[in-house]
Amino acid sequence: MEEESNPWPSFVDTFSSVLCIFIFIMLIFVLNNMLIVYDNSMKSYNVGKKSEQAAVGSDATAAESNADGESSKKETAYEAEIGSFDNPNEEKIDLTITDKALTILYQGKSKGYAKQEVLKIMDWLKKKDKQNFEIELFVSQSDISFSDSLRLAYERGIIFMQEIKSVSPDLILNISVNATSISLENKSVITPK
Same domain, 170 and 146: yes
Task: State the pLDDT at residue 59.
Answer: 43
Q: What is the residue type of 38?
A: Y
Same domain, 47 and 115: no
**Residue 1 falls inside a structural domain:** no
- The boundaries of the domain holding residue 133 are 93-192
Residues 95 and 118 sit within 8 Å (Cβ to Cβ)? no
**Residue 2 falls inside a structural domain:** no
Same domain, 97 and 79: no
- pLDDT tens profile 124-175: 777 766 567 777 777 776 677 777 777 888 888 888 888 777 777 777 888 8
Same domain, 18 and 49: yes
pTM over 0.85: no
In order of 11, 179, 181, the CA distances from 184 in angstroms are 48, 9, 7
Residue ending a domain, choose from 84, 112, 143: 84
DSSP 3-state assignment of 103?
Answer: strand
Q: Decide: residue 121, CB within 10 A, 0-12 exposed, 13-18 middle, 19+ buried.
A: buried
- The ranges of the chain with pLDDT < 50 are 55-89
Task: State the pLDDT at residue 127.
Answer: 74
- For the chain, the residue count is 193
Number of domains in the chain: 2
**Residue 183 falls inside a structural domain:** yes
User: 178 has which bridge partners?
Assistant: 187
